[in-house]
Structure 1
Amino acid sequence: MGIGAYVAGVFHLTAYAFFTPLLFLGAGSVMRGVERGRAADSSRTQFNPNDMACMGGLARRQPITFWTFLIGGLALSGFPLITAGFWSRCKILARAYWSSPAVFWLLAVAAGLIAFCTMRQVCMIFLGQPRTRAAERAPESPPLMTAPLIILAVFATGLGWAGIAEDFPVIGGLVPDWFHALVGSPIETTYDLVWQPLAVWLAFGLGGLVLAWLVYGWKPVRASETDRVEAAMRRMWLGWLYDALRNRLYFDEIYRTTFVHGSILLASLFQDFDHGVVDGLIGLVVRAGRSVSCVSGWLDVRVVDAAVNLAGRAGRALSEIGRVLDLRVADRLANLVGLSGRALSDLSNVIDLKVVDGVVEGVGDAVRACGRFIRPIQTGRVQNYLLLAVVEILALVVAFLLM
């Protein structure tokens, strides 16, 4: 994907989905057979049933597992023309050759190492003579396990024919490139097949297979024999490199020392901090809370309760005083006010009847008397009115003169 080979990358990933599980299931079938062989061995020799040095000669005991494992190993190594791994890697290397030569050479070297390790596995597990009694008695796996191996082996070989480049010599035009038509991207640039990257890759891949067969298959490894690559590297004073590679460049030790032990140390520090600081602070808070609770309890009993009792007694005393004042003073004042009100009511009644009503009736009687006095004057005769007017004028003149 990093070099832009999208279709080739997806094709290689799809091919990997078949021959990688094939190798894992084949390894499981081998380990099962060795375990059953050890169970059938009456000597009960102690050894690691997963160690390839304790196997050998299983091709005769487990033929189906051998052939399917061989097909998966060849597909992983990219054996030319007949495996899916060849056709998927062919497109990737062609793209890497044009876009990134450094990536191309890294892929070529990796292909050689993969081919060497794969053939080493095949030779040490299946070829030669059995190196333990368990390997001599290892049975073939039942059909429930070998049937998936056969199906995956078919796809590990036949899937490659769905992605043959159309410009590949001879067989390129015979089978259409169905996979590119299925997932091909219109933005991906296609490159013509050239022989240089293919030849380099075949040299590394086939060279790794042949070299591993010469080291481990030409003369199969015998029981208790030191690994031949290890022996050769130790003769060349490269035993340290073999040990480093065998121990995976000590990544496990580095990881265990840094991350595992570091995590344990950090956890211990946090535990000490929790016990020494956090728990101490919590204990201090608890003791302070307990002290505050005791002080508040003492204050509640000695101060608050005393004040409440005093307030209660004062309230009862005030209530008694109020009751006495109500009976002795308030009631008498209320009775006096009632009697005074009743007397004032009687007095106002007498004044209303004798004075107010008398004045009103006197005014009415005076008005009626004046009416009776004036009524005779109203005769209706003009001469009487003229006489009255002359008398009034004379009265006014006399009054004026007297003033």
Structure 2
Amino acid sequence: MSILFLTILFPLIGFLILSFSSGRLSENGAATIGIGSVGLAALVTLFVGFGYLTNTPDSAETIHLWTWMQAGQFKIPVSLTLDGLSLTMLSVVTGVGFLIHIYASYYMRGEEGYSRFFAYTNLFIASMVILVLAENMVLLYLGWEGVGLCSYLLIGFYFKNPANGAAAMKAFIVTRVGDVLLAFGLFILFREAGTLNMRELAQIIPVSLAAGSPEITWATLMLLGGAVGKSAQLPLQTWLADAMAGPTPVSALIHAATMVTAGVYLIARNHVLFLHAPEVLHLVGVVGAITLVMAGFAALVQTDIKRVLAYSTMSQIGYMFLALGVQAWDAAIFHLMTHAFFKALLFLASGSVILACHHEQNIMKMGGLRRKIPLVYASFLVGGGALSALPLITSGFFSKDEILWGAYVNGNNILMYAGLFGALLTSIYTFRMIILTFHGEEKTHAHELKGITHHLPLAVLIVLSTAIGALIPQPLHSVLPAIKDIGESKLFLEIASGIVAIVGVAIAFALYQGNQKLVNSIKNSAIGKLLGKLWFHAWGFDCVYHWLLVKPYLLIAKLISNDPVNSALDSTTFAFKLGNKGLLLTANGQTRWYISTIVIGAVILLVLLFWL
């Protein structure tokens, strides 16, 4: 337990070495440091986790490092906490992050800024580990802002293209809206409880505030605002699809192992506060249900392989929010873990498709790739099957069923039906992507991909995306409340969700395998064109925000470009400058001018003397 801090220190040291090297390291050297630092953090996690589970699996252990800041009663220590929830999250961050780093060493070969890439990703991992292990909300907020900074740096990694810089700025600004709301939540909690230690908050708030009181309602609403921003849920979801501007391993890191799961972790960690605000907790589930359905429709019509997966992530995080909203806490974290496996697999495999097809990302220009890159095809089949929750053989089936069961048990049938409908959409758009990419005629020549750093991460993630991944235990029983037992079998729900997934796959093959006459007729109809355009642009949120927020802001900026306040302040400076220029005119070196001014001055003095 005493070496827990090394999970932060190793990636942080890697970041510092790579940063100060200023690109002077060879690619092999940069990869060794970048991969090695995260690999060491994963080994420490394994060692610490084994010790925790064999010694004190039902309690939290805290290690105090130093006092960060203190002012009167306000004291913020740098203390790390390890319990079942933080251990689960830490294992996902370092384990899946390690596999992504190995793959990135292959994917990024020959790219400009190779060592800079690993510097950013090492800082990303360190920030996420701080967020996960933080004992108090301020330290969590430090990690929260750290992953926000790293997302900006990585999304805009190819900064020479202005569009990539715009995407990075968009992600930074939209998530910053949520971050400000989260800060407001911290202010409210400290005012009401006098502490920001999360364990103490869970003890004090239920005693000091009445359930559903305005204070706890506003505090949890602000926390929810922070969560929807970081986890790309309605209405702050617009940044995630544009985040595909970064390198593909970055997409895997953001979507699978780190940033977008932070909002889920925040709500789960503070579940006692949300249980004390039932209306806000219900809103969490509603937000998740709406997001998962809307994102599913958007994914149906995307042509960029990475954007399909981006909307898929938005939808799957929606499932986690739905689980949180119906108090299926352990199901939310279970799906978070399995999603990390199969979504990392799908993003890395999509990177392989992009490399094999010479950086082509449009699935409409692909086809027939299953023979050229069979391992990547297998990765898509297993990862896509897990995403679609194909019954019994995939990890996604078990975790998604736990969410649907939690909704049913808690009497939220509408949310359960939304989850089932979202599962149908997921199967359709996932296998649409697979069919258009790997089946049919070859439209883009693809070359074979080789190398252990390419094959190994995909092979490991393939195994973890099967039912084997669902067997990994999560020690959450001492941290999160379990789903209540209602004495009914969930077999009927498992059968229903399995049928839904299989039907979705069948629909995808019926629509997209072959000449696609039915699809084309729907697309060319009036309603098809309207819905297709609406869904392709993700329900028009970007357009609405552009006209409601961006345009007025730019107009105001233009109107006050000559800042009147600044101009008023500058008037004093202007007066002094004018006086200075006048004085300079008098010092012109002409004797006649000097004599004239002396005479004029003497006359003025004499007149004043006589006058007085």
TM-score (norm 1): 0.58
- Over 3 Å counting, the alpha-carbon distance change for 1:288 and 1:79 in structure 2 is same
Q: Which residue is equivalent to 1:4?
A: 327
Q: Which residue is equivalent to 1:264?
A: 554
SS at match of 1:249: helix
Contact 2:534 2:540 in 1 (8 A): yes
- Over 3 Å counting, the alpha-carbon distance change for 1:32 and 1:237 in structure 2 is same
Out of 456, 469, 485, the position equivalent to 1:190 is 485
The CA RMSD measured in Å over matched residues stands at 3.2
Q: Which residue is equivalent to 2:368?
A: 57
Q: Which residue is equivalent to 2:408?
A: 97
5+ residue gaps in structure 1? 37-48, 164-177, 307-403
Deviations 1:276-318 (A, max 9, x none): x2354234323544688889xx9xxx79xx9xxxxxxxxxxxx
- Whole-angstrom distance in 2 between the partners of 1:183 and 1:121: 40
State the AA in 2 paired with 1:97: Y
- Whole-angstrom distance in 1 between the partners of 2:576 and 2:524: 72
Bigger radius of gyration:
1
Q: Which residue is equivalent to 1:210?
A: 506
SS at match of 2:561: helix
- Whole-angstrom distance in 2 between the partners of 1:32 and 1:145: 11
Q: Which residue is equivalent to 1:109?
A: 421
Higher helix share: 1
Out of 572, 591, 596, the position equivalent to 1:285 is 572
Out of 359, 377, 388, the position equivalent to 1:77 is 388
State the AA in 1 paired with 2:554: I
Contact 2:328 2:483 in 1 (8 A): yes
Matched, 1:153 2:443: no
Q: Which residue is equivalent to 1:167?
A: none
Q: Which residue is equivalent to 1:86?
A: 397
State the AA in 1 paired with 2:545: Y
State the AA in 2 paired with 1:278: V
- Over 3 Å counting, the alpha-carbon distance change for 1:186 and 1:51 in structure 2 is closer
Once the two structures are TM-superposed, the CA of residue 262 in structure 1 deviates from its matched residue by 2.9
Q: Which residue is equivalent to 2:352?
A: 29
State the AA in 2 paired with 1:201: S
Matched, 1:136 2:445: yes
Contact 2:330 2:482 in 1 (8 A): no
Once the two structures are TM-superposed, the CA of residue 8 in structure 1 deviates from its matched residue by 1.3
5+ residue gaps in structure 2? 1-323, 584-596, 606-612
- Over 3 Å counting, the alpha-carbon distance change for 1:183 and 1:10 in structure 2 is farther
Q: Which residue is equivalent to 2:522?
A: 232
Once the two structures are TM-superposed, the CA of residue 72 in structure 1 deviates from its matched residue by 0.3
Q: Which residue is equivalent to 2:437?
A: 125
State the AA in 1 paired with 2:418: L
TM-score (norm 2): 0.39
Q: How many residues align?
A: 265
- Whole-angstrom distance in 1 between the partners of 2:504 and 2:380: 17
- Whole-angstrom distance in 1 between the partners of 2:331 and 2:446: 44
Deviations 1:382-402 (A, max 9, x none): xxxxxxxxxxxxxxxxxxxxx
Q: Which residue is equivalent to 2:543?
A: 253
- Whole-angstrom distance in 1 between the partners of 2:578 and 2:445: 80
- Greater relative contact order: 1 or 2 (C-alpha under 8 angstroms, separation 6 or more)? 1
Deviations 1:88-113 (A, max 9, x none): 11111111112110110110011110
Out of 343, 346, 370, the position equivalent to 1:20 is 343
State the AA in 1 paired with 2:425: L
Q: Which residue is equivalent to 1:241?
A: 531
- Over 3 Å counting, the alpha-carbon distance change for 1:122 and 1:281 in structure 2 is same
Once the two structures are TM-superposed, the CA of residue 199 in structure 1 deviates from its matched residue by 3.3
Identity level (%): 26
